[in-house]
């Protein structure tokens, strides 16, 4: 593929793409928990996920307007969908997923290791989440966000879901930058994997309220394993997937605790059934451990990144996490 790939656009010809599109399968219509249990608590009105979707679509339109394919000579051929005029797409040979050029994405805030570390543009660790490489890429990520995010937001509210979504992509950006230096990265798949990780830790920390515990856990682990397995294909940035997933997993222990049944129903239960603590002891322990790991992980990773440390120098086999070469394809950079 020339110049551009989903999630990680090649510079100039190679790249990576996040495979979290299949993560939408995590939004199983049947709940993991027993909704008849009053300890589940209130249901929130979902709106921040819709805001995220609208913002991503609007930003993509702005990017395409700035890209202005018809206004530039292109050796790869003519623009696609010329009737769209200024927001028409780059030639399919350059960007087969119907989007802008990699140079436009880089100019507008895509994640680029050299610019983050050597030119002190750390803001790119955040701005890259709002950029998408093409219509297909945008559609896949937004559908996944709707299916996964709305369900979580209804259960836990917009504040906690927003924190998980944004910090997970930030964590994915850091890990990706530590291991991949010669490509640019855009997209929200790291954040989507963070939501998957949060679902898993929420299941673990609120284990007692769930029905069909084993089936729920195995189903979720299978979904996560399939999505991570996609990451060994070329043009898939599994480092961003894993960084987002681990961040979301730890954040779930901190932000997605549910109170004990005896606490929720303390006004309706007899005195002998009351509990003194809102949460169980193991929930507090997991929360503290996860918080310490998050703080130390972000601190160490950011220090390593801005000191120019190459993660591959400390882990010779880690490049196989993001791409496994076969007779059918090579991984390149």
Q: Is the pTM of this model over 0.85?
A: no
CA distance 243 to 176: 7
Active-site annotation holds for 173: no
Lowest mean pLDDT among 27-41, 82-96, 275-289: 27-41
Residue 15, pLDDT > 70, answer no
* Residues 205, 253 contacting (CB under 8 angstroms): yes
Residues 6+ apart with CB under 8 A from 3: 9, 10, 11, 12, 13, 90, 94, 95, 101, 102, 103
Question: Does residue 2 surpass a pLDDT of 80?
Answer: no
Span 208-245, pLDDT tens digits: 777 777 777 787 788 778 777 766 665 567 888 899 99
Q: Which one of 101, 189, 216, 301 is the catalytic residue?
A: 189
- pLDDT per residue as tens digits for the range 44-83: 888 999 999 999 999 999 999 999 898 888 888 899 888 8
- Which residue, 206, 123, 210, 195, is CA-closest to 160? 195
Task: Name which residue leads in pLDDT, 29 or 314.
Answer: 314
What are the residues whose beta carbons fall under 8 Å from the beta carbon of 74, sequence distance 6 or more?
90, 91, 94
Q: ∠7-141-184 over CA atoms, to 5°?
A: 15
The answer to whether 100 and 106 have CB atoms below 8 angstroms apart is no
Q: Which of 243, 233, 264 is nearest to 189 (CA)?
A: 243
Tens digit of pLDDT for each residue in 172-218?
A: 999 999 988 888 888 888 999 999 999 999 988 888 777 777 777 78
Map tokens 């322990």 to a residue.
285
The conformational region for residue 257 under phi > 0 = left, psi -120 to 50 = alpha, else beta, is beta
CA distances from 88 to 3, 50, 310 (A): 17, 25, 38
Neighbours of 139 (CB within 10 A): 15
Q: How confident is the model at residue 121 (pLDDT cuts 50, 70, 90)?
A: very high
The mean of the pLDDT values for the chain is: 81
Q: Single out the catalytic residue among 137, 201, 241, 322.
A: 241
CB 168 within 8 A of CB 194: yes
Does the annotation mark 189 as catalytic?
yes
Contacts of 201 by beta carbon, 8 Å cutoff, 6+ apart: 248, 249, 250, 251, 252, 253, 256, 286, 290
What is the pLDDT confidence band of residue 36, given thresholds at 50, 70 and 90? very low
Token output for 234: 């070329």
Nearest-CA neighbor of 51 among 105, 130, 133, 124?
130
Q: Would you tell me how many other CB atoms lie within 10 Å of the CB of residue 260?
A: 20
Give the C-alpha separation, 79 to 88, whole Å.
Answer: 6
Q: What is the mean pLDDT of residues 70-99?
A: 88
| Cβ-Cβ contacts under 8 Å for 330 (sequence gap 6 or more) | 234
CA distances from 302 to 80, 110, 188, 237, 306 (A): 40, 18, 20, 19, 6
Q: Which domains does the chain have, with CATH numbers?
A: 8-322 (1.20.1540.10)
Q: What is the pLDDT of residue 313?
A: 81
Token pair, residue 255, equals: 């932000």
């Amino acid at each position: 593929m020339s110049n551009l790939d989903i999630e990680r656009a090649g510079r100039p010809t190679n790249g990576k793409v996040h495979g979290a599109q299949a993560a939408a399968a995590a939004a199983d219509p049947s709940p993991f928990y027993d909704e008849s249990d009053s300890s589940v608590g209130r249901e929130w009105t979902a709106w921040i996920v819709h805001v995220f979707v609208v913002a991503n679509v609007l930003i993509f339109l702005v990017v395409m307007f700035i890209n202005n394919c018809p206004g530039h000579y292109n050796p790869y051929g003519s623009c696609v969908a010329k009737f769209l005029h200024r927001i028409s797409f780059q030639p399919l040979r350059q960007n087969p997923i119907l989007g802008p050029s990699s140079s436009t994405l880089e100019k507008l805030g895509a994640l680029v290791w050299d610019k983050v570390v050597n030119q002190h543009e750390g803001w790119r660790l955040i701005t890259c989440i709002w950029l998408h490489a093409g219509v297909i890429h945008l559609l896949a990520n937004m559908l996944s966000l709707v299916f996964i995010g709305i369900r979580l937001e209804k259960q836990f509210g917009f504040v906690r879901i927003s924190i998980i979504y944004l910090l997970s992509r930030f964590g994915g950006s850091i890990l990706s930058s530590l291991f991949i230096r010669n490509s640019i990265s855009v997209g929200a798949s790291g954040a989507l994997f963070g939501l998957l990780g949060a679902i898993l830790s929420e299941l673990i920390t609120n284990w007692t309220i769930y029905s069909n515990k084993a089936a729920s856990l195995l189903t979720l682990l299978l979904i996560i394993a399939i999505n991570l397995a996609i990451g060994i294909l070329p043009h898939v940035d599994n480092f961003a997937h894993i960084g987002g997933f681990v961040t979301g997993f730890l954040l779930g222990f901190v932000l997605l605790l549910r109170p004990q049944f005896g606490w929720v129903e303390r006004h309706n239960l007899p005195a002998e059934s009351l509990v003194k603590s809102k949460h169980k002891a193991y929930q507090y322990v997991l929360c503290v451990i996860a918080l310490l790991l998050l703080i130390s992980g972000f601190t160490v990773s950011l220090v390593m990144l801005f000191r120019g440390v190459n993660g591959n120098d400390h882990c010779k086999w880690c490049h196989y996490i993001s791409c496994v070469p076969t007779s059918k394809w090579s991984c390149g950079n």
